[in-house]
Amino acid sequence: MPEVTEQIEKAIEENVEPQDASGGSITDHDPKDAYLDDLKSKINFDAIGKSNARHAYDAIYGTGRGYLDKILRDHGVEVETLHDWRDVTFGGKAPEPGEGHLDELKQSVIEKKLTLGLATDGDGDRFGIIDSNGEFITPNQLIALLTDYLAESRGWSLGVARSVATTHMVDRVAKSRDLELHETPVGFKFIGRLINEDKIILGGEESAGLSIRGHYPEKDGIIACLLAAEAVAVRGKSLTEQLDELYRRVGKLESGRIGVKLTGDVAAKLKEKLAEQPTEIGGRKVENINRLDGVKFLFENDAWMLMRPSGTEPMVRIYAESENRDELAKLLDDGKQYLLG
């Protein structure tokens, strides 16, 4: 958390010697068996095993291999594993579990009529899901769906957390299930603190990070995939069918994101631009402005737009959400024009 990293930064700046400079020691530790055993208390493997589900798992050459597929097989689930060997080049592509990186997984699901295609990224903390119809389930969709599923299946009545950039579908599910909503800055550490404090049943970020009550206070792609498999097994419906039911109950929101490169002109006026207090953007009345992380403009009918400088690239990310896909495209374009204007 910031209060800890600030102390470390201060010590580095002041060249403070550690209290114990003897050198310490290094001990090898393999957490695999303990981790997999812990999952047994958090996932309904009996239901998954009895559902006759058949899954494919794309490890993307990463650290998830031998974890997600193993524990499913240990409970009698048929799993086809893709890219389950070590390749330091990750097959020549970024080890991302996004839709554009899961073509082979999608092909396996469709051709073999599998229940789900599951994927984790290079270090196993983010997830990617392909439904039985070959459709990619977005992180925003899964976070909202699993919030609803956990409230229903576990009977948990604590809050739910999402980052400022994550879908307001979570807000609608929370309201329908009478759960308190926590909005956090971008960065899973803020959600992790709420997990440590036992204030939430689930916390998620649109970048495919998710964890749940009683689990580690860090995003975990493996447990996210297992919860998706459990929801399908317990409810006896595909994720797409479950989403359709959820939309009928709470309504549907379309979300998207674009990036605007920080050229010299944009960078020079960025701080001033984000400090403005516009009353309308693209003809839409701004009903509220949220400055929790970046600047978020809230419009009527749950539409919103967030502008936030990237912490890793010379770019401003623009996120938006609306009840209509065409309106979403216009929101994103209007945000870009506003930023460049």
Partner residues linked to 290 by β-bridges: 296
Which CATH number applies to 52-250: 3.50.50.60, 3.30.465.10, 1.10.1760.20, 3.40.120.10? 3.40.120.10
pLDDT the model gives residue 21: 64
Q: Give the pLDDT score at 2.
A: 82
pLDDT at 20: 66
Domain ranges of the chain: 52-250, 254-340
Q: What is the dihedral of CA 187, 294, 258, 336, to 10 degrees?
A: 180
CATH code for 254-340? Answer: 3.30.310.50
Each residue's pLDDT, cut to its tens digit, for the chain (341 residues) gives 888 889 999 988 988 776 666 667 889 999 999 999 999 999 999 999 999 999 999 999 999 999 999 999 999 999 999 999 999 999 999 999 999 999 999 999 999 999 999 999 999 999 999 999 999 999 999 999 999 999 999 999 999 999 999 999 999 999 999 999 999 999 999 999 999 999 999 999 999 999 999 999 999 999 999 999 999 999 999 999 999 999 999 999 999 999 999 888 888 888 899 999 999 999 999 999 999 999 999 999 899 999 999 888 889 999 999 999 999 999 999 999 999 88
Spatial distance between the Cα atoms of 254 and 277, rounded to a whole number of angstroms: 25
**Do 68 and 222 contact (CB within 8 A), yes or no?**
yes
Q: What is the C-alpha to C-alpha distance for residues 302 and 253, in angstroms, rounded to an integer? A: 8
Angle between helical axes of 169-176 and 239-250 (0-180°, round to 10): 70
Q: 136 has which bridge partners? A: 130
Would 52-250 and 254-340 be classified into the same CATH topology? no
Compute how many other C-beta atoms are within 10 angstroms of the C-beta atom of residue 83: 19
Quote the CA–CA distance of 256 and 251 in Å, as a whole number.
Answer: 17
The confidence score (pLDDT) of residue 19 equals 67
- Looking at residue 117, what is its pLDDT? 98
Note whether 158 and 201 are within 8 A (CB): yes
